[in-house]
Amino acid sequence: MEETRVAFIGAGGNASGHMKRVKEVDGATIVAICDVAEDRAQAAAAEMGASAWYADHHALLDKEDFDALYISVPPFAHTDAEILAAQKGAALFVEKPVVLDMEKGIEILEVIEKAGVVSCVGYQLRYLDAAQRVKQYLSDKTVAMVSHHRWGGLPGTAWWRVMEQSGGQLVEQTTHGVDMMRYVLGDIVEVYAKYATRTMADVENLTIPDSQEVLLEFDTGALGLVSTACMGGGKSDMSFLLRDGTLEFGYTNYKISPDPGGEYAEPLAETASIDDVFIEAVRAKDQSKILSSYRDGLKTCDVTLAANRSATLNRPVRPYFADNY
Ligand X SMILES: NC(=O)c1ccc[n+]([C@@H]2O[C@H](COP(=O)([O-])OP(=O)(O)OC[C@H]3O[C@@H](n4cnc5c(N)ncnc54)[C@H](O)[C@@H]3O)[C@@H](O)[C@H]2O)c1
Instruction: Choose which of 11, 61, 92, 120 interacts with ligand X (CB under 6 A).
Output: 11
CA gap 56, 61 in Å, rounded: 9
Q: Is the bond leading into 258 cis (omega within 30 degrees of zero)?
A: yes
Nearer to ligand X among residue 68 and residue 73 (C-beta): 73
Contacts of ligand X in 55-74 (CB under 6 A): 57, 72-74
Binding mask 154-193 for ligand X (x = CB under 6 A): ---x--------------x---------------------
Closest chain position to ligand X (CB): 12
Sign of CA dihedral 66, 31, 73, 154: positive
In order of 51, 89, 164, the CA distances from 101 in angstroms are 34, 24, 10
Neighbours of 278 (CB within 10 A): 28
CA gap 94, 15 in Å, rounded: 11
Nearer to ligand X among residue 57 and residue 133 (C-beta): 57
Which amino acid makes up residue 292? S
254 and 260 Cβ atoms separated by less than 8 Å:
no
Least distance to ligand X, CB of residue 119, Å: 15
Contacts of ligand X in 259-318 (CB under 6 A): none
User: Pick from 122, 163, 127: which is nearest to 15 by CA?
Assistant: 122
Binding mask 13-32 for ligand X (x = CB under 6 A): xxx-----------------
Least distance to ligand X, CB of residue 261, Å: 33
Contacts of ligand X in 86-125 (CB under 6 A): 95-96, 122, 124
Neighbours of 138 (CB within 10 A): 18
Q: Which residues bind ligand X (CB under 6 A)?
A: 9-15, 34-37, 40, 57, 72-75, 77, 95-96, 122, 124, 157, 172
